[in-house]
Structure 1
């Protein structure tokens, strides 16, 4: 009995040291966007990506950047998963910050890795790392609270309940809403990926800075729609399910466009 108690205490202490903004979309969310991206690749991009990932699909590779957080060697990648802001911003204000902020964040590191992957001189292992990170970060950006407010660490400081489970707003968008649909990632893709060629063209022609701005605007809406300590359940799912699905879909379609561009 005493051993079990000590184990629980040890686990609790260990978890308290995990960065609070540790995840973006949960495992299923990342795989949904990853599979959508894979379904919209050109043959040339698909071939080039397979040469880097081998038998690892984009859907599977999309969670690598979260899994390796358990390895302290990759601690330097932590800030690459998000870009937070002090307050709601207009697009020109945000663009000014994005273009001049030298601190590592999802936006500037994504731009850096895109440039590096386009170089033929980039080494094999570096290409593998950057491809996995690009896949993950593009998906991260489309989780609205990865472009949220610095003061609450992207919604982690907004403590709420999901039905009877204590959690936070960030985690609801990471995992709870996606998992609540009770679909496998392939079933989820079949349910939401019905875009037309015109819609694909529009989504893929939008610059990365606009991806960030769109998500940040959504984050601002999410902040207004919830109170500290509130219990969220069926109605919250009803209100935001379409938004959730659109973000998962956008992330996948835009990721495909970016990969097609890099490896085209």
Structure 2
């Protein structure tokens, strides 16, 4: 049995990626299927309505050109600066202005637990989650905006010119010569201890691992350079590890989400499925559905789109945003509200007042937090 770790010898690559392509995503889904409980497998099959989990894994890419799903483009990645510590990285991810892979994963999981959603919406949330867990394990999905995730970085592989995006989109996997079922069999090598450990890791940890790899890639890449056989062997070892982890972790997430659910084999999807947008407000669009919760219960609503009311006790302008302490003064606040974009202009108006906020709940340093970009997400008297 092989054991891979993210050591420097494996991470020092001269390549990058933007998408696993069909083979990679199908292999991840096939690995996940092997680690599902019988109850989870039954529920997954019910929501997918006969579609295989491997076929469902590529749906989120297939619909990328559909105008209905235009707003989901940013769900597949997150752009960050280089050189961040883990604490800085976590802070950047949580405080991003726009929807990204982290918020999309949290929202997909919240939707799968939401008993008010119809089968078509559950079908869509499941297909997004299957795909996005794979994307989260691709190092260049946690990458830089300035080179478009490697599209603008030219390299040579097999005596042909290409770019880092295309290289990792399929050329490296194709070079190995396996189809996705063979990949799933070859890559599913984790022992029970590894499976248990990987399945306890959070989505933030998945992204941090990808960020560590992409950082090393950028350190070593030479634009226009050649991807030789030695570099290929190092990179394919990383691919083995990340695809194995993605499959095992996807199964872990699904088993956890569906542990207490009972399958309903009579459910039929309602077509067409309305796209379920993550809770961050996009200017000019209608507000997504939200649940009213108490301020003291926010810790139980992580990843959900909620409406909550509380008094503003203090605020602090840190230039990039205004941090608002709701429910009590810092450090005893029940909610940290981060005002960004157009919402920053509300800071002086809401100080000392009772406000009602709509947004997605995240956790930062043990405290519930909501990032708000648009003023119409906050009501006050």
TM-score, reference length from structure 2: 0.62
Partner of 1:98: 93
- Of the three residues 51, 71, 88, the one matched with 2:46 is 51
In the alignment, is the contact (CA less than 8 A) between 2:152 and 2:163 conserved in 1? yes
2-side partners of 1:230 and 1:163: how far apart?
Answer: 12
Deviation of 1:248 after TM superposition, in Å, equals 0.7
Tell me which moved more, 190-199 or 28-37.
Answer: 190-199
Deviation at 1:23, TM superposition (A): 5.8
Specify which of 215, 225, 237 is matched with residue 210 of structure 2. 215
Out of 54, 57, 62, the position equivalent to 1:62 is 57
* Structure (1 or 2) with the greater strand fraction: 2
Match of 1:82 among 77, 81, 89: 77
Q: 1:176 aligns with which of 141, 147, 171?
A: 171
The CA deviation string for residues 89-137 of structure 1, in whole angstroms up to 9 with x for no partner, is 1111111122222411000111111111101111111111111111101
Query: Which residue of the partner structure matches residue 110 of structure 1?
Result: 105
User: For residues 233 and 122 of structure 1, what CA distance do their matches in structure 2 show?
Assistant: 50
Contact 2:18/2:168 (8 A) holds in 1: no
User: 1:86·1:151 contact (CA, 8 Å) conserved in 2?
Assistant: no
Gaps of 5+ in 2: 1-16, 260-381
Instruction: Answer yes or no: is 1:162 the counterpart of 2:161.
Output: no
Counterpart-to-counterpart distance in 1, 2:131 and 2:18: 11
Distance in structure 2 (CA, Å) of the matches to 1:33 and 1:81: 16
Q: Distance in 1 between matches of 2:252 and 2:97?
A: 26
1:233 Cα deviation from its structure 2 partner? 3.5
Q: Give the C-alpha shift of residue 180 in structure 1.
A: 0.8
Greater displacement, 104-113 / 93-102: 93-102
- Alignment match, 1:17: none
Within 5 Å, which residues of 2 pair with 1:1-264? 24-264=19-259
CA RMSD of aligned residues (A): 1.4
Q: Distance in 2 between matches of 1:82 and 1:164?
A: 30
Q: Does the CA-based 8 Å contact 1:143-1:173 persist in structure 2?
A: no
Q: TM-score, normalised by structure 1?
A: 0.88
SS in 2 for 1:167: strand
- CA distance in 2 between counterparts of 1:151 and 1:258 reads 32
Rounded to whole Å, the distance in 2 between the matches of 1:175 and 1:243 is 14
User: Separation in 2 of the partners of 1:189 and 1:262?
Assistant: 23
Q: Tell whether the 8 Å contact from 1:160 to 1:169 is kept in structure 2 after alignment.
A: yes
Q: CA deviation at 1:253?
A: 0.6
Alignment partners' CA distance in 2, 1:65 and 1:165 = 29
Structure 1 unaligned blocks of 5 or more:
1-21
Tell me the CA shift for residue 166 of structure 1.
2.1
Tell which has more relative contact order, 1 or 2 (C-alpha 8 A, sep 6+). 1
Contact 2:139 2:211 (C-alpha < 8 Å) held by counterparts: yes
Paired residues of 1:94 and 1:213 also in contact (CA < 8 A): yes
Measured in 2, the distance between the counterparts of 1:112 and 1:188 equals 29
| Deviation at residue 77 of structure 1 after TM alignment | 0.8
Segments ≥4 residues shifted beyond 3 Å: none
Larger helix percent: 1
Displacement after TM superposition at 1:186 (Å): 0.9
Q: Deviations over 1:6-54 (max 9, x none)?
A: xxxxxxxxxxxxxxxx962111011111100111001111111111102
